[in-house]
């Protein structure tokens, strides 16, 4: 199957990449064919290990030993990429095929100015520019990616994550390549920044008219951005076609699983509060948790403005606290857990001030309030095996009186989140995947059986397919164990899926609150509207920016009032004062 | 390759016990001491540096400590034997020109030199660990005071101080005093190393996990932080010990060591002083030098092996 040598765009036929390891040959990419015309955006989707990044590396001539391209043709405007020598490929990297890396924060040189890093490409490709010309090119490139010219004189640490990613785009397009490869360019960014970066990327691609490959596992982002899609699994293409066709009618079951793993408005399983087993109220008739004019300042920076609410606990509910990084949501979580002390006001747990508890009250508080944190990699003490996170609470809270009893608890904790105990408790944390670790953290919380759980971005670092599993666990905790959950997230879509009540936090203040149907289906505050508009819905027909352009929306957020929250409805068990 | 991990309906059941048979078959030896011993042995097999280093040091210790049971200390003293004897059955390592048995020097000298290293290293690491831990854990003015003093003292070349102190005491010096003099400056590097480690560890996410598990402040320091510090403490100790022994051998080779004790460094000094090689008495030079080489190579290998232990990510996987 030979691709026509003369036709424009990228033509790949029968590409195979194999890795020679001690355990045998791994077919990372196993005979794939596809073609991209100039100006078209192609999405590569699949789990980690499916071969999507290896495909991109092959097109960049960057497969390293023990890997090897064993067969195939890849022609870009007639140029046979796979037959180029290493030295010849250097002439084409950046100039013909260009790459936008995953972690912009790690791929920029920390000691060089942005302009120097942009100009490096011109220098390496035999076109050193005169000083004035160079300045002009840098300014126009920065303008293309929506950055002010002053950024050229800055160092990477002076830029935000989104700005760094856009600087990476400027570097990648400097030589007007024919093919752009973007490898999960927004994976560490919040939805608004993600939307900004992706809109920038789309615009510059239109400007230079190159073909574009977007690698990712977020089906929502794919639906918003690409024209065609390739779904990969175990090195093979399982589905390939127009993005609308695939979303409307996925033919492969794997594609269907991927699409369904994205939270979506249509598929919301309304948590049935009526079926819960009754709540875990504080025994003394006091509300489980209450904030009384609580604020927190770090020096001059106000992380959280005065906030008051009560969570009764007798009617378990999931309260989502939604906001971007810097909105104060994690500070709020730390205040609840007693890891931070409020600057003003009081955080009380069943009547006791969280920071002024006696010994007995602290013990009870620790047992009854648990948390799952964002980073499953940092949550385990590397010195101990996995079982340590389970044995510590068992011992400290006196939950087991013998080795057998402790073991029973641990086995149930593993099984409650679908982990095999025999494959789990003898291992070290670094021998498990991030998803497995995070599930065990949830299992640990289930084992301790708290009354209140603080879940701080529990799914932002795990694969999409695991998200719904973990969110399902949280919901089970509410409905079957009667645990109230504070769900802290930047992701409105997941909040919509599991929350009973949503607080939208912006710059330390609650700007809008209500049940998900009100807040998300009919957002009133401009900031909520911006957040909702920036959700990458897994639906090619529902586009970003339905509520106007990003700049207009940001402008109206800046002008909006943040002092008085818009509260439209209340639920039983939670009251915002 | 990762399969999508699907668990549709997790059931956090509370009452039922898992089947005993399953439990026993899968995880029967969890938490038992035989399991722990097996883990240690398997680990040593995967870390040849540590194993070989420990074997070298153990062999030297066996010779030195075992030898003390058979050979009396006076054999290492001058005039105890006929001088200038080459190795023979009666004197396996020969004797020097003043009648010391070199086997006696090997047995008692190695012990004395190692003792200087252990005493100075232990004092240095103990002081350094406490200071470094306080500086890193409490921050604030405690950190400022400790760090400033450490940083200033780090600029002083240790040999300068040691030569001055030792030269004033030279004739009356014994090995214990020697160790104390060296310990005067041996805590500076451990302080810096431990402080930087504690600075990193105090922000670790697992401390939050431990607090949620009801661990007290003391528990966090001793059960969560300290175990992670142990490899660094051990590596610091090995390093401090090697540095201290190097300093003692250096001082002794300059003739500033204890005149009346047969340490390895003093033997090297006497061998140079009396021109052992010119007299063709190779055994006089070779014995202390070989002992020193085994000692330092052993310490180096242990230190390299501990490096790997300190970072579990580098720990080799089970075959």
Could you list the residue range(s) of the whole structural domain that residue B308 is in?
Answer: 66-314
A567/chain B closest Cα distance in angstroms: 33
B259/chain A closest Cα distance in angstroms: 47
pLDDT tens, B110-153? 999 999 999 999 999 999 999 999 999 888 999 999 999 999 99
CB contacts < 8 A, A to B, total 139
pLDDT of residue A152 exceeding 60: yes
Q: Is A370's Cβ below 8 Å from some Cβ in B? A: yes
Poorest-pLDDT segment among A234-238, A311-315, A541-545? A541-545
Confidence at A427, pLDDT banded by 50, 70, 90: confident
Looking only at the bridges linking them, the beta strands covering A484-489 and A79-80 are unpaired
Poorest-pLDDT segment among A4-8, A273-277, A474-478? A273-277
pLDDT of residue A366 exceeding 80: yes
Determine the pLDDT at residue B9: 40
Looking at every residue in chain B, the average pLDDT score rounds to 82
Determine the pLDDT at residue A1: 43
A106 exposure class (CB count in 10 Å sphere: 0-12, 13-18, 19+): exposed
pLDDT of residue B4 exceeding 50: no
**Which H helix or E strand runs over A308?**
strand A301-311
Determine the pLDDT at residue B24: 56
- Please give the DSSP secondary-structure letter assigned to residue A334: H
pLDDT tens, A56-112? 889 988 888 788 888 889 998 888 888 888 888 888 888 889 988 877 667 888 899
Tell me how long chain A is: 577
Of residues A407 and B29, which shows the higher confidence score?
A407
Q: Cβ A50–B26 below 8 Å, yes or no?
A: no
List helix spans (H) across A3-42.
none
List helix spans (H) across B226-317.
226-253, 264-273, 282-310
Q: Is B318's Cβ below 8 Å from some Cβ in A? A: no
Structural domains counted in chain B:
1
Is A137 inside a domain boundary? Answer: no
d(CA A99, CA A34): 19
Is A488 inside a domain boundary? Answer: yes
Query: What residue of A is the nearest CA neighbor of B8?
Result: A469
**DSSP string over A113-169:** -HHHHHHHHHHHTT-PPPHHHHHHHHHHHHHHTT--GGGGGS-GGGS-HHHHHHHHH
Residues of A in contact with B9 (CB under 8 A): 472, 476
Is B210 inside a domain boundary? Answer: yes
Q: What is the largest CA-CA distance in chain B?
A: 88
Q: Cβ A472–B9 below 8 Å, yes or no?
A: yes
pLDDT of residue B13 exceeding 50: no
Q: Cβ A403–B210 below 8 Å, yes or no?
A: no
Determine the pLDDT at residue B170: 61
Is B9 inside a domain boundary? Answer: no
d(CA A441, CA A378): 11
Q: Cβ B5–A435 below 8 Å, yes or no?
A: yes
Determine the pLDDT at residue B89: 81
Q: Cβ A48–B30 below 8 Å, yes or no?
A: no
Structural domains counted in chain A:
1
Q: Is A110's Cβ below 8 Å from some Cβ in B? A: no
Is B198 inside a domain boundary? Answer: yes
Contact A252, A232 (CB under 8 A): no
Is A15 inside a domain boundary? Answer: no
Residues of B in contact with A476 (CB under 8 A): 9-12
Is B1 inside a domain boundary? Answer: no
Determine the pLDDT at residue A286: 82
Determine the pLDDT at residue B96: 83
Residues of A in contact with B31 (CB under 8 A): 403, 406-407
pLDDT tens, A342-352? 999 999 998 88
Main-chain phi, psi angles of A12, to 5 degrees: -115, 130
Query: What residue of A is the nearest CA neighbor of B231?
Result: A383
Q: Is B4's Cβ below 8 Å from some Cβ in A? A: yes
pLDDT tens, A319-330? 999 988 778 888
Per the DSSP assignment, residues forming a β-bridge with A484 are: A452
Q: Is A461's Cβ below 8 Å from some Cβ in B? A: no
Query: Of A375, A408, A430, which has the smallest distance from its Cβ to B205's Cβ?
Result: A375
What would the mean pLDDT of A417-432 be, rounded to a whole number?
Answer: 84
Residues of A in contact with B215 (CB under 8 A): 392, 396
pLDDT tens, A25-63? 888 899 899 999 999 999 998 877 788 888 988 998 888
Q: Cβ A463–B2 below 8 Å, yes or no?
A: yes
Q: Is A570's Cβ below 8 Å from some Cβ in B? A: no
Interface of A with B in 230-249 (CB under 8 A): 234
What would the mean pLDDT of A145-169 be, rounded to a whole number?
Answer: 87
Determine the pLDDT at residue A129: 77
Is B56 inside a domain boundary? Answer: no
Could you list the residue range(s) of the whole structural domain that residue A344 is in?
Answer: 273-576
Determine the pLDDT at residue B171: 65
Is A541 inside a domain boundary? Answer: yes
Determine the pLDDT at residue A452: 92
Q: Cβ A403–B31 below 8 Å, yes or no?
A: yes
Is A156 inside a domain boundary? Answer: no
Of residues A565 and A170, which shows the higher confidence score?
A170
Identify the top-confidence range among A188-202, A236-250, B275-289, B305-319. Answer: A236-250
A349/chain B closest Cα distance in angstroms: 15
pLDDT tens, A285-297? 788 899 999 999 9
pTM assigned to the model: 0.75
Is A482 inside a domain boundary? Answer: yes
Determine the pLDDT at residue A296: 92
Query: Of B4, B12, B312, which has the smallest distance from its Cβ to A382's Cβ?
Result: B312
Q: Cβ A50–B1 below 8 Å, yes or no?
A: yes
Q: Cβ B227–A381 below 8 Å, yes or no?
A: yes
Helix (H, G, I), strand (E, B) or coil at B225: helix
Determine the pLDDT at residue A547: 65
Query: Of A373, A375, A411, which has the smallest distance from its Cβ to B18's Cβ?
Result: A411
Residues of B in contact with A337 (CB under 8 A): 208, 212
pLDDT tens, A184-201? 888 767 888 888 889 889
pLDDT of residue B279 exceeding 80: yes
pLDDT of residue B12 exceeding 50: no
Confidence at A275, pLDDT banded by 50, 70, 90: very low
Q: Any idea which residue has 């043709």 for tokens?
A: A73
Sequence-distant (6+) residues with CB within 8 A of B165 are B181, B184
Is A262 inside a domain boundary? Answer: no
What would the mean pLDDT of A539-563 be, rounded to a whole number?
Answer: 75
Q: For A506, left (φ over 0), alpha (ψ -120 to 50), or beta? A: beta
Sequence-distant (6+) residues with CB within 8 A of A338 are A347, A354, A355, A365
pLDDT of residue B19 exceeding 60: no
pLDDT of residue B22 exceeding 90: no
Per the DSSP assignment, residues forming a β-bridge with A456 are: A488
Pick from A273, A322, A190, A265: nearest CA to A521: A265
CATH of the domain at B178: 1.10.3720.10
Determine the pLDDT at residue A453: 94
Determine the pLDDT at residue A546: 66
Quote the percentage of chain A above a pLDDT of 70.
94
Looking at every residue in chain A, the average pLDDT score rounds to 85
Q: Is B15's Cβ below 8 Å from some Cβ in A? A: no
CATH of the domain at A410: 3.40.50.300
A226/chain B closest Cα distance in angstroms: 24
Torsion, Cα A212 A217 A222 A223, to 10 degrees, reads 170
pLDDT of residue A165 exceeding 90: no
Contact B251, B162 (CB under 8 A): yes
Is B34 inside a domain boundary? Answer: no
Interface test with B, best of A411, A463, A468, A478 (most B CBs within 10 A): A411
A563/chain B closest Cα distance in angstroms: 33
Residues of A in contact with B11 (CB under 8 A): 416, 476, 480
Quote the percentage of chain A above a pLDDT of 90.
24
pLDDT of residue B226 exceeding 70: yes
Is B23 inside a domain boundary? Answer: no
d(CA A185, CA A550): 19
pLDDT of residue A267 exceeding 60: no
């Amino acid at each position: 199957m030979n691709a026509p040598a003369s036709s424009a765009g990228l033509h790949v036929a029968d590409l195979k990449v194999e890795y020679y390891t001690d355990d045998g040959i791994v077919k990372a990419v196993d005979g794939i064919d596809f073609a991209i015309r100039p100006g078209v955006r192609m999405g590569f989707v699949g789990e980690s290990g499916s071969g999507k990044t290896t495909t991109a590396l092959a097109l960049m001539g960057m497969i390293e030993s023990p890997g090897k391209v064993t067969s195939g043709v890849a022609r870009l405007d007639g140029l046979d990429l796979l037959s180029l020598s290493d030295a010849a490929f250097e002439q084409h990297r950046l100039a013909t095929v260009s790459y936008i890396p995953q972690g912009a924060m790690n791929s920029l040189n920390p000691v060089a100015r942005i302009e120097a890093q942009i100009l490096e490409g011109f220098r390496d490709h035999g076109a050193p520019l005169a000083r004035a010309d160079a300045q002009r090119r840098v300014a126009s490139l920065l303008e293309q990616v929506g950055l002010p010219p002053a950024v050229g004189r800055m160092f990477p640490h002076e830029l935000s994550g989104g700005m760094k990613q856009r600087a990476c785009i400027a570097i990648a397009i400097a030589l007007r390549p024919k093919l752009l490869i973007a490898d999960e360019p927004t994976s560490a960014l919040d939805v608004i920044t993600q939307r900004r970066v992706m809109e920038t990327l789309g615009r510059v691609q239109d400007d230079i008219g190159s073909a574009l490959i977007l690698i990712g596992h977020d089906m929502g982002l794919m639906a918003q951005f690409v024209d065609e899609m390739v779904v990969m699994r175990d090195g093979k293409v399982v589905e390939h076609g127009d993005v609308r066709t695939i979303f409307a009618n996925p033919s492969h079951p794997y594609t269907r699983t991927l699409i369904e793993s994205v939270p979506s408005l249509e598929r919301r399983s309304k948590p049935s509060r009526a079926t819960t087993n009754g709540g875990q109220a504080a025994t003394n008739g006091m509300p489980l948790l209450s904030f009384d004019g609580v604020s927190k300042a770090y020096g001059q920076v106000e992380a959280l403005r005065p906030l008051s609410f009560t969570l009764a606990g007798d009617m378990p509910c999931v309260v989502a606290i939604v906001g971007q990084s810097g909105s104060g949501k994690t500070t709020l979580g730390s205040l609840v857990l007693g890891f931070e002390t409020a600057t003003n006001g009081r955080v009380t747990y069943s009547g006791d001030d969280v920071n002024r508890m006696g010994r007995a009250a602290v013990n009870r508080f620790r047992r009854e309030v648990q948390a799952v944190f964002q980073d499953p990699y940092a949550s385990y003490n590397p010195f101990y095996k996995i079982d340590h996170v389970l044995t510590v609470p068992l011992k400290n809270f006196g939950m087991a009186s013998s080795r057998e009893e402790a073991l029973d608890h641990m086995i149930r904790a593993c099984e409650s989140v679908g982990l095999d105990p025999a494959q789990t408790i003898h291992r070290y944390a670094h021998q498990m995947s991030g998803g497995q670790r995070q599930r065990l953290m949830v299992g640990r919380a289930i084992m301790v059986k708290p009354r209140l759980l603080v879940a701080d971005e529990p799914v932002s670092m795990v694969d999409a397919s695991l998200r719904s599993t973990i969110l399902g666990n949280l919901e089970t905790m509410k409905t079957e164990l009667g645990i109230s959950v504070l769900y802290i997230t930047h992701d409105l879509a997941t909040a919509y899926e599991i929350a009973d009540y949503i607080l939208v936090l912006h710059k330390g203040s609650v700007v809008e609150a209500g049940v998900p149907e009100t807040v998300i289906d009919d957002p009133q505050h401009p900031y909520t509207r911006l957040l909702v508009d920036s959700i990458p819905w897994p639906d090619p027909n529902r586009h970003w920016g339905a509520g106007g352009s990003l700049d207009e929306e940001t402008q109206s957020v800046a002008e909006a009032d943040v002092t008085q929250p818009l509260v439209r409805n209340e639920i039983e068990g939670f009251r915002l004062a | 390759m990762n399969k999508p991990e699907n668990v549709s309906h997790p059931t956090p059941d509370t009452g039922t016990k898992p089947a005993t048979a399953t439990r026993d078959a899968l995880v029967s030896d969890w938490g038992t001491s035989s399991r722990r011993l097996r883990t240690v042995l398997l680990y040593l097999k995967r870390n040849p540096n540590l194993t070989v280093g420990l074997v070298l040091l153990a062999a030297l210790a066996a010779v030195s400590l075992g030898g003390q049971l058979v050979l009396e200390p006076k054999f290492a003293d001058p005039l105890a034997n006929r001088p200038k004897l080459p190795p023979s059955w009666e004197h396996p390592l020969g004797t020097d020109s003043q009648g010391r048995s070199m086997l006696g020097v090997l047995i008692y000298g190695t012990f004395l030199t190692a003792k200087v290293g252990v005493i100075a290293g232990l004092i240095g690491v103990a002081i350094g660990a406490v200071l470094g831990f306080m500086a890193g854990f409490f921050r604030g003015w405690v950190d400022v005071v400790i760090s400033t003093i450490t940083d200033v003292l780090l600029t002083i070349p240790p040999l300068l101080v040691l030569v001055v102190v030792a030269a004033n005491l030279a004739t009356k010096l014994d090995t214990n005093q020697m160790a104390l003099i060296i310990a005067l400056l041996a805590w500076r590097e451990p302080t810096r190393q431990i402080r930087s480690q504690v600075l990193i560890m105090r922000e670790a996410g697992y401390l939050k996990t431990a607090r949620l598990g009801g661990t007290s402040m003391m528990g966090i320091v001793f059960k969560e932080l300290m175990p992670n510090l142990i490899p660094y403490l051990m590596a610091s100790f090995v390093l401090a010990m090697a540095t201290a022994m190097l300093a003692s051998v250096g001082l002794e080779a300059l003739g500033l060591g204890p005149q009346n004790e047969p340490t390895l460094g003093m033997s090297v000094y006497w061998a140079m002083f009396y021109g052992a090689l010119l007299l063709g008495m190779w055994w006089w030079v070779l014995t202390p030098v070989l002992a020193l080489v085994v000692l330092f190579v052993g310490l180096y290998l242990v230190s390299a092996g501990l490096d790997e232990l300190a970072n579990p990510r580098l720990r080799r996987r089970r075959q």
